[in-house]
Every structure is written in structure tokens, then in C-alpha cells.
Structure 1
């Protein structure tokens, strides 16, 4: 029998509304936007004729999701905009329910938001990553009563929304958090029609023992009932992953009280959820009142997990090595305003790489992300944005607690989530005049207690705050072996030392930056300058490219070649660490940050294995070769058009593959078959020393696993000519398709030899009808960018006209190209 609890919520502004509203639509089109503040709400509402001299300020047409900082976050010449911005729209509102509620459901908006119906403020919210709602029912009714208003706005309802991402020390996250604190309605906004009585939340707790023999399902509900409706019937239906009904019940409610009546359903041998087979049950809750029905359906999964004390991680009673990465909500051309298709593409790319775990850094993310993790089988650490800067006062702390509560309640049912993150780098001062470790410890304890009170089934965790590591369930120290500290061959030794210092250890954040398209014949040279560290922690100032002790982050070449070596070493070592719960590479995709203006792509953290536009770097395939199940093979160097060396000098060719054996062909000649051995570093033994011919070379591999075969091939030039000091720049068109032209700049010496180690910044410009495709935060989408092996590319739209493209570099004559 199913028993359940009923909890009544009678608040005007409530934090969450179900995803299955009876009538719901995304509000995407017909918006206008103003990137500044207004003198008052009337400036958004006053009627003006198009082209009138009174039509100021000038609004622009946009679609949602929309971010203030779609381009300026990575504009090399400006600080990104932090301030207010306004959105407005006229909506036709026709609620089909008798006395129904009309709701604006925000999936996320940054960072402080106010909602107006005509000139009446109906709601406000602080926190850029929560879901929240504004009930506009009463304000809409009041507006409709005035017939002059209705006529003026053609029987539509004027809505205005003010978002503000201004700097505010008493708001999390800190502006020093190494990611942009974006502004705008950058997640979906929905118009929901609800009956008088609807469902706020359903909490469905699915639990199972480690052997998978016995499962329980507890269900509770919270209703939205602003008019204190009485007498309703609630139906609960539970279906297994095949859609078969395994539980059904009905209960008549005479009145609604805030009380807990626990429901409990016993399920023998439930079908388990795992990364390999992410089986999902469904729980449907319907509330029926006076002939109207509100429905909410939640997906749940049965899984048992354990971080073994002084040991590894177990899922459903078996050891599982967590193979993870991180996700920031950030993308080329849109910043935080990623569409559902973009999000789906990104999470699928992670799954295809072999990921079974994601840490969502450093804030609650879209429900779309969590739904995909549930359905694809990816475990999750999700955290609140208490990140760097110290600890603020009561307002600051109240927001942190509120966001933790929202995150847990809103994502409570997702089987993918196993960890609630309470903070990141909270040992990093700077926002306040005092930095008090004891107060940070006390507040961390409050958050830890709150998390366990709201959800007793999941772990708590933080990263990098050693003086709080005893408070949470799982701790991740800072280990950046081979980047910010030491050399990467210290990784296992440092990790074991840190593992021994805590009860439950998980290594999140490791890796290093790589400038996409830059490669090296001797990538590990910088390691000769670096001393063994004995620890791998990054410290304040380590991200700087200037000063301090020798470190690869400052003294290395930032090549894809080096990062592939570092990752390769880490992954082969992890296969020999039976005590390791897992590791989580930082991050999956390059993302923008205001604190790194001097990077090869300005204002970009370039540690991703894909670029900000989903272009895969070579490192993606290193991970695939260790983690992916589908057969793959990838010759290193698809983005390395020209290699160099002496005539007749042997050069290493590496192949990243999960095949049993691989055969390499150079210019049609076989160089033999190699068998894969993960402990034969580098490239798991799939490497050959070959002699390139001068000029063009064709490489091909055939990889086999059992009866399955895959191939890969690339073309590379081999340059033996030596180059001198850079002397001149050239520009040439290398592609032209559908009005989009791609231009390549090269830096040559006085004898026209390509300077293959050149790293100078170059600056692209355009005059005429064309428009550069820049401010993308990619190596091929920035008008200011460091060269990669003496070259750089950028594209432009011709707009059907003529243009002059320029490229310059300090101390080098500007080059021009007529298009």
C-alpha cells in the first residue's frame, strides 16, 4: 500500500513549480531588451510610435534565453558589463482554468531579478541559479479591469523584467570566482497556467540495499493553494522502466494542513539505475479538485552508493572508478544562454568521451542538465556558489542557505546526484577586510547540518579548504601536479598522501591549459625548470603568467602536446590506484573568466578538452582511449598541419585508441602493429618513431578489437628549413562557404620561412561591409589571439560586399587582404 504526506504551501512567491504544468509554454520570441537601467518602470511601459523622437532609450529585439554578456565577456578591449538590464514583452494571457493561477516560471536569471505587470512590481528574487516563480494572477486581473489600459495594449498584458548582475560583496558568488557572474534571463522562462490548487513539489525518495534485493519508495507532496481550497482527491501512480504500473493509490483530502503523512512502497528486486543502464521509474501525482486536475511526473532511479571509508567508491555494491569532468554554463556567442539543443550536445559529448561523473561548477545548473544526467547515466556533484572571497554577513549567509535549500529541494529526485557541494576554495580571501577561519568553519558546519537535514541520503563535499575538510563527508584537496605545482609524475604519490589525511577522498580539479592548435616537438621541456613539489596545490597568484617560482602554468608552452602527456600519465596511473574513488578533470569545455586577461585567448580559461564552441581538442581523444566503450582510434595531430625537425630525424607518432592492436601506415608503408598496454607510457604503447619525408605526408591507422575495425588518417607537412627572427605577417583566404570566409595569418622570417614556434599576439581587423566572427572565446574566434605554431585563423561574414582584412603584431608591419 502507498501512504504519502501532504504539505501545504500558501506563499505568494514560491521557489519552484512542477515541470508538468497543465498549460505551459516557453516564452522565447517577441522580447525587447535594454542594456542599461531606466529612470523608472514607466519608461518601459509608456506607449510610443515606432520612429518617434520619444522612442528613447532604444530597445533591441532578442530571443530567450538571453545573456547580457554574450560577447563582451571575452571582448579583449573591455571589462564585461555588470549592471542592470531590462526585458519587456506584451503577452496575451488566457488562463483556461476557472480562477486559475498564472505563473511566470524562471529556470534561472542573473543575478537579481524584479518582475512587473505594467507598473506593479509582483516579485523579486536574488540568486542567479535557482529556479523560481512569480504569480502574476492578481496583477493581471487588476490590469484587465481598466479598459483604457487593455485598449492601449491591444488586450495584451505588458510584462517588464529587470535583471542586475552588478558587483555586490554581500551576494554569492564572489566576483573573484574565476568565472563570469553573468546577467540576463539566461535560462528558459515559461508561462504556466495552473488550476486554483496545484502541485508545488513532489519528493520521491527511492532507496535500495547494496545487494539490490529490497527497495523502498517514499513519496511526499507540497501543494500550491493560495486561496485555501478544501476537498480534493490525490492519485499516485508508479511505473517501472518498461512503463508497467507497479503501484496505484487514491486518497481524498478534506482539508490541507501542514503535516507529514509518510508514504511507503516496498519494491522487491527493483531494476537498478547505473551509468551502464540508467533505468528510470516514474512517479505521477495528480490532484483533482472541482473537475480540474494538476499533474506532476517525476523520474526516479534505484541505486545504492557508498564512499568507502579509507577506500574507493561503490555503486550497487561494486567498485566504480568515478571518471569525471566539470561543466560551466558557458558557450561561444551566447555565454550562459545555452539552448536545450546546445546543452544536450554538450552532455552527450561528455558521455561519448566515457564520463560517468560530472561536478557542476560552481552553482546549481539547469534542470535540463540533470534530466540528461539521469537518462544518460552520469553521476553528479552539484554545489552552491559559495566560491572564494571569504564570508560575508547575514544577508550573504542567508542567500547561501536559501540557495542550498532551493538546490536540494528542486533536484531532490534526480538519481544522478550523489553529492551536494557546500563550497569551493573557501580558504581564498580578498572580498572582506577580515578573514576569520573560525567563522568560515562555523558557517560550513551550518551548511553541512542543513544539507543533511534536507537530505539524509546524499554526501556533502567541498573542494580546497583544508581547515574545513573534517566537516564534510567527502573532501577534495588541491592537486595540480604538473601544472601549478611540481611535475605530473608526482600525481600518485601526492594523491595517496592526501587520501590518507581524510576519511573519504575524491580528487576533483586537475589538468592544465592548452591553446587549441598549438603543438610541440618537445612539450615536456618546461619540466626541467620545475622542482618536485611534494604537494600539488595551487596558490593565489599561480594563474598569473608572471613572477613566482617556476611552474608549467607560467613556464610551459601551453601546447596541446603537453596537456595530452599530462592527462595520459594521470589516466594510466589511475588504473593502478585501487583505493581511488575517482578523479574529475577541470573542465570539459573552455570557459570565460574576468581574471585571465593575458591568456592566449584573452579572458578565457583554456583548460577544457573542447573549445568553447564544442571543437574537440586532442585531449578529448586521450580520455576516450581510456574511458570510452565504443571502439575508437585517433592519430595525434589533426590540428597540427606542420611538423618540423632535421632531415631524416625520427619523429614520434602517437595514436590514442582503446583497440587491442593498431597498425600505422606512413605514405602507404606499414610501420608495424602495436598492442595496447595502458601502462606503457605514452599513448599506451601505441607510438612509432618514423622518418617523415620533407613536404606532404599521409598517415593512416587501422585499429582492431576482436572482429571490429576502425581507421583514422591525417595529412601533415614536414618542415626542415630553419627559421630566424619573425619578420613579416601574411594573410590568405583558406575557405569560402555561404558568405563566410576564413582567413589565415602566418608569421614568417626574412626568408619567408614559417616561424613554427612563434607565440606572438596578433590583432585582426576589418574595414568595409564584412563583420569579423570574433568575441567567441576560441582560438579561431578572437580578434586578439596568440599564434599557434606561427599561424592563426579567423572568419568573417562578407554580407555580400567588399572588405579589407588586416592583421598586426607589435613590432611587425601590418598585413592587408582585399576581399
Structure 2
């Protein structure tokens, strides 16, 4: 009960930041229809006429909610793109005389229309920026109708139509490597505010060269739809302990809606915001008019940053290597409709891995994410969703301008943000018959100028558009050494070459795919990859067919290979003093419509955690380079069976940030190794060991100063050789109160597990239970490639009787009877 109360208090506090005093999330009591209506009357008719045979049929949902929570990764269909409707009843009781009643959308995809009863009150185009619908007049008008009292019993019918239909004249492009989701997939808030209120605060902290004195220049936009009168107000800055350290008053005789100067506060010896110490101040601005006071608060921070020309990055005068990743708003089971708690867990996972920088790809993300970046100490590159396809017409360009404006104005106060991204892969043509580089350059310059006009304190950036690389302040070329082209050992030289071509260089997007649970004894034994051909991604490289030999097509997609690739990049980055930083692609696996043939269909599997947040082995490689808290991890927690002969020595790798580590196998010490980041692989923490046939207990003891940390796993060592896959065998391996985990193995004709088998596996289920599939994970997909001759799926038996079937092309289908307890 106490935990629930604290959670409620925290949520209310978060709602206060940026809102007025009266705001609440509209999460419950919604109905949803995934299709279009014949007209708005169909949404309200059942209540008005009381017809029990009314169609279509709606289902109950809670917000946030995404159309594509399941079908985004359904292996058998393309994800739904079209209209969908939401409806609910609101109890409107605005406490302010002549006040305004607003609906604040934190994001809805992609085109949204809002209705009160049958009156359309607002429309918005753009799936990622925030926007507000003022429903005041429509509510008051409906309250005067007979239907308000009789059929709707004093409630206000609200209907919302979201539409993510394909449209070439909107951004982002449907050629983008991510789903363009539909729905009310971010929080929707009901807000009551006085007739005069503050719409936005623009707080600009600045510092002297010595960082000993700071100023905050405060401007504000006012929301006053009915008047242009006198406003008095106050500005107050408090520190993290709640102590007031600066304050001021302002008075405006004639309030306008444009940015108006409110105050300039001076602060002596400000506590600087850093990635290790993300110190935040609270800025409170009040506005009083007609006897009513509105209060708005923002978190701000003092920090100075510089991308040195032809050099590294500096934060508050000290060099900081940006250790970054990327993020899509996507999660198993909910798609884009991530709850605040999900976001907190994900961002904390990043911080625990050592991330100090993130590029939010490829659109404005939830205010919750930006708040977390502020409080956790993660610097941000945020970008507008002009992604791939070329350049559209007037409406297309107007949408891009508006979304750039909204992104900058809505996220202006976040100290974590240092870069405004102008777009992504704008050299990728395909949406229009014309692909005119000069027109793209012209519009890119326009967006660059717009960004600087809206915010002169931050820099602009873009990734992969070489014919525009001279336009933004910071440029990132395409470098995928060891994945889409070339070998990972070429990374440093290729990066140096690209660094020399621009004034300010950053490396966004590198890495590769890995199928969670797939491991290899010889991860680099695939087709020989050419050296000296560059490391950029070119058209068709992401395909699994055709083109030049490349790891992305010809490799085994094992976790074993990808840890080596990451390991090499990280150890090289420690020897590149000119490097500003990098951001690997991507922190978490995410769904995409352009990769139906991947081992988990419709998933980009480049994450270091799976789509549900389960860490892969590569997570710990980054942790071993980027964190200070002592950690140690034996490679192979998700590798239950290794293979070979008893005469072969096997490499055991340990990833740790400790000074030294000692490995024990079946109780026998294999000695102490010293960590040396330049001793590839595993920074020298690797041992050649003799594994016994059968089970082997591995344990490592690592020390960092006076702190000791340990890790241990058990692995089976299979010495039997296997032949061609001949059969499947399925078994139940766990049961958690009726939720069963089933595993299928691929065997040869002698019942030996085929540990290199990558057969396609199809699960199906009949009976009382349900299969927990369409998660986009290696253990949550009904169609998936085997990993080391096995695959798993979870099933909720509902404590009844069910039958699981498993089939694979060319092999006999097998069945498993599941009887509930």
C-alpha cells in the first residue's frame, strides 16, 4: 500500500513539471476499435439510442495503447496501418472561473482528430510531438444539450481517431527501418487551467568562462485565448534541497502569445550538471491575472559543452568521451505504448551499462525519456523524423518545419540535450520520382537555420548524408566496420579518414545483429571478407541476399561474433584521443517492417538487450569498459551446451572492469589474469581450459582494489558428433503457476543434438491455453530460427488442457500435451 501511494505521489509530481496545478492522466475506461467508422455518430449512437445490436464492436483498453502491440512482429502478416478509434466519458469539473479545459497529448500516431460528442475540436499531424486540444467551448456547448443530462448522465463523450495510414507526403518515410505506429501510445492528460496561463517557459542558463557565475534568462509564452490583459508574476530558482537561491518579479501590461522576457537571474557558484553528477535546479514561474494564479515548473541545469573543431568533446571544460547508444520507443507486448515504469527500467539499464550519451532515433521521444536523461546524466542527440525517402512537397516540408519547431520548443529546457538532429539517412531515395540532391541541400540548410534561430545554444547534427555533411555543425558518416562492409579491425583507420573530412566528427550507428541464445565455437569462420573496401552501408547491404560477401549476410549472427566486434571497437576507442565519441546501434532490439526474414521475423536484432529488456552477452562487454562499479561476467550464461573433443582446449572469456580475475573450472584454478584493455579479446581475461564431457562448473573471482566480485555458470560439454537434422523433440522445462516454458531440440537420427542447427521452428497451440508469442524475442516468437539446435516458447495454460505443436521444414511435426495443475 505504501509503495502504491509513493508511486502515485511521484506520478503527480511528474505531471506538475510542465503542467499547471490541475492535471491527471486519462489511462482508464477507454474503448477501442481498430478500423474506421462510417462517421462520428457511430461512436456516440449506442449511448444515445441504447441499441444492444449496435455495430461495430469495441473492446476495452487502457492507455497508453498502440494499434500494433501484437501485429508489429506477427510473422504472418504486415502490421496494420490505418485508422483506429478511442472513446471514453469524461467527468469535467473545471475549478477555475472562465478557465480552460485542455487535452494534452504527449504523442499520438500519426494523424489525430478529437471530437466532443459529434463536434470536431482539434486535429494534429505528427506522431511524436506534444500538442494540446482546447475542448472548453465544445464541452460547454454539449452541457446545454438534452443528451448531456438524459443519455450521458452528466458526462462528456470524447472520441479520438488516430490514423497511421501510409502517406508519402508525411514524415517519417515508410522506407524507414522502424514501424510507423498508430494509437494513443503516449500518455493523454486532462488539464484544468485559469483563463490566463503559461504555455511554455524558455530558460537559458549561461556560464562565465570560469564557471563561477551563472545566469538564467527566462522567457515565457502565455496561453490566453480570450484576453490580452495585465499579468503579474514571480520567478524563483531552488536548488536540489529546495532552498531558494534566486527570485524575481515581473509585470506585463499587455500580454501577447509570443515569447516575452520575464527575468534574468544571477547565480553565484552554480552546481554544474555533469554525466556523473546530473545536478538539477527547479525553476518556478507564476502568472496571476483576474485573481487566479497559474504555476509552471521546469528542471534546469548549468553546463557548458563544446565539440572541438577537429577534436574531441568537452563538458564543462574537461574532455569527455561520449559513450553512447540509440533508442526506439518499442517494447515487447506493447510496441510504442511503453509505460513510465518501463521507460525508467530501460533508461536505468543503460546507465548501469555506463551510457553517458544517447541518440534518440529517429523522432522526438517522450518527455519522460528526456526527464530521465536529465536526472540520470545522459547527454542527448534528438532529431526530427525526416528519415529516408527523399524530399516531398509543400505539405511535407511544412510538417517537417513544424515538428522541428515543436521538438525544440517543447524540449528546450532539458540540460541533457546538446544536439538537434536535422534528419537521418536523407541520401536514401525511393518515395518520389524525383531525387534532387540540391533541393535536399536547400531544405537541409533551411532546417539548420531554423534550429539555430529557435535555439542558439545548441548545435545541429545529421547522420549519413554525405552531400549535406557541410551543413550541420556535427556530422556522422556511415561506418559499419565488420558488419555491412569490411572487417572490424579496420575501424580506427576508416574513422580517422572520415574524421579528417569534416570540422566536427561523431560516430553514430555501429555494431551488428545477434540472435539471442545463438553461440559459436568458431564465430569468425565464415566466408572471407574483403579488406580495403570501406566500411559504409550501401543500398542492399541490409538484405540477406545478393551483393558482396559481408558479415551481415554470411556470418552466423551469433552472440559470440558480436561480442568480439564490440570488444574491438571499445578497446580502439580508448586509443583515439581525437574522438568526440560514438553511439552504437542500438540498445534494445526493435520491430521493423523491412526485415521479415531475420531469425526473429520483423525484428532488428542489433540490440544488446532483447525487446523485453533481457540482456544479451554483449551488454556486459560494454559494462566492462564503461562502468566503475566492480563487475564480472563469464561469457556464456545463455550458452547451455558447448561442443568439441576432450583433446581440444576451449577458450573461456570473462568480461570485467576489475584489475584481475581468477578462473576455476570444476574447482580447479586456471590462474590469475591481469586486465589490459588492449589485449584483445576480453581485455586479456581469457583462459584455455579442458572441459570434461558432461556438466562443467565455471566460476570467476575478480578483484578491484579491496572489492571482490564473482560470477559462475554451468555448461554441458557435448563430445558426440552429430549428423543431419532428422527429428524434433519437445519438452516442458519449467512451470510457473501455469505459465509453461517449452523447449524443442533438433536431433540427428542417433538422437544427438545438432548444436549448429539454425532450422526455422514454428510453434502452434490448441486448447484452453494461449501462446505468449508476438513478443519479438528469441523465446517469445511462434516462428523463430533455432539457436544451437533449440528454441523455446512460453505458454499460459490457464490451468486447463492444451496441445503444443512444433514443426520445422523437412522434419516430422511433434506434439506436447499440457495439462493444467
Q: Distance in 2 between matches of 1:263 and 1:197?
A: 19
Question: Residue 209 and residue 486 in structure 1: after superposition, are their counterparts in 2 closer, same or farther (change >3 A)?
Answer: farther
Partner of 1:4: none
Please tell me whether residue 643 in structure 1 is matched to residue 642 in structure 2.
Answer: yes
Q: Distance in 1 between matches of 2:147 and 2:422?
A: 52
Partners of 2:220 and 2:261 within 8 A in 1: no
Q: Distance in 2 between matches of 1:170 and 1:634?
A: 49
Question: Residue deviations 1:188-207, cap 9 Å, x none?
Answer: 00000001111100000012
1:59-458 counterparts in 2 under 5 A? Answer: 59-257=58-256, 258=258, 260-261=260-261, 263-458=263-458
Partners of 1:143 and 1:150 within 8 A in 2: no
TM-score (norm 2): 0.97
Partner of 1:624: 623
1:363-762 counterparts in 2 under 5 A? Answer: 363-526=363-526, 528-762=527-761
SS across alignment from 2:149: helix
Q: Distance in 1 between matches of 2:778 and 2:389?
A: 31
Partners of 1:494 and 1:534 within 8 A in 2: no
Question: Residue deviations 1:679-716, cap 9 Å, x none?
Answer: 00000000000000000000001110111011100000
Question: Residue deviations 1:564-610, cap 9 Å, x none?
Answer: 00000000000000000001010000000000000000000000000
TM-score (norm 1): 0.97
Partners of 1:490 and 1:534 within 8 A in 2: no
Partner of 2:766: 767
User: Which stretch of the first structure deviates more once superposed, 199-208 or 256-265?
Assistant: 256-265
Question: Residue deviations 1:145-171, cap 9 Å, x none?
Answer: 113333210100000000000000000
SS across alignment from 1:794: strand
User: What 5-or-longer segments of structure 1 have no aligned partner?
Assistant: 1-15
User: What 5-or-longer segments of structure 2 have no aligned partner?
Assistant: 1-14
1:212 is displaced (CA, Å) by 1.4
Q: Distance in 2 between matches of 1:770 and 1:262?
A: 62
Q: Please give the root-mean-square deviation of Cα atoms over the aligned residues, in Å.
A: 1.3
Q: Distance in 2 between matches of 1:51 and 1:621?
A: 59
Partner of 1:8: none
Q: Distance in 2 between matches of 1:460 and 1:801?
A: 58
Question: Residue deviations 1:405-424, cap 9 Å, x none?
Answer: 00000000000000000010
Partner of 2:808: 809
Q: Distance in 2 between matches of 1:217 and 1:660?
A: 44
Q: Distance in 1 between matches of 2:48 and 2:127?
A: 34
1:245 is displaced (CA, Å) by 1.1
1:290 is displaced (CA, Å) by 2.6
SS across alignment from 2:427: coil
SS across alignment from 2:103: strand
Q: Distance in 2 between matches of 1:639 and 1:781?
A: 15
Partner of 1:13: none
Point out 4+ residue stretches in structure 1 off by more than 6 angstroms. none
Q: Distance in 2 between matches of 1:208 and 1:259?
A: 22
1:230 is displaced (CA, Å) by 1.9
1:18-29 counterparts in 2 under 5 A? Answer: 19-29=18-28
1:49 is displaced (CA, Å) by 9.5
Question: Residue 209 and residue 511 in structure 1: after superposition, are their counterparts in 2 closer, same or farther (change >3 A)?
Answer: farther
Partners of 1:32 and 1:87 within 8 A in 2: yes
Partners of 2:148 and 2:155 within 8 A in 1: no
SS across alignment from 1:264: strand
Q: Distance in 2 between matches of 1:759 and 1:328?
A: 28
Partners of 2:515 and 2:558 within 8 A in 1: yes
Partners of 1:594 and 1:603 within 8 A in 2: yes
SS across alignment from 1:572: helix
SS across alignment from 1:108: coil
Total equivalences in the alignment: 803
Partners of 2:461 and 2:472 within 8 A in 1: yes
Partners of 2:476 and 2:507 within 8 A in 1: yes
Partner of 1:9: none
Q: Distance in 1 between matches of 2:553 and 2:52?
A: 55
1:509 is displaced (CA, Å) by 0.1
Please tell me whether residue 785 in structure 1 is matched to residue 759 in structure 2.
Answer: no
Partners of 2:246 and 2:267 within 8 A in 1: no
Q: Distance in 1 between matches of 2:261 and 2:514?
A: 55
Question: Residue deviations 1:299-330, cap 9 Å, x none?
Answer: 11111100000000000001000000000000
Question: Residue deviations 1:359-412, cap 9 Å, x none?
Answer: 000000000000000001000000001000000000000000000000000000
Q: Distance in 2 between matches of 1:481 and 1:619?
A: 17
Q: Distance in 2 between matches of 1:177 and 1:213?
A: 46
Partners of 1:485 and 1:533 within 8 A in 2: no
1:242 is displaced (CA, Å) by 3.0
Question: Residue deviations 1:170-216, cap 9 Å, x none?
Answer: 00000110100000000000000001111100000012245312322
Partners of 2:248 and 2:263 within 8 A in 1: no
Q: Distance in 2 between matches of 1:49 and 1:157?
A: 12
Question: Residue deviations 1:10-33, cap 9 Å, x none?
Answer: xxxxxx997232111000000000
Q: Distance in 2 between matches of 1:236 and 1:712?
A: 53
SS across alignment from 1:263: strand
Question: Residue 743 and residue 52 in structure 1: after superposition, are their counterparts in 2 closer, same or farther (change >3 A)?
Answer: farther
Partners of 2:218 and 2:261 within 8 A in 1: no
Q: Distance in 1 between matches of 2:179 and 2:287?
A: 42
Partner of 1:12: none
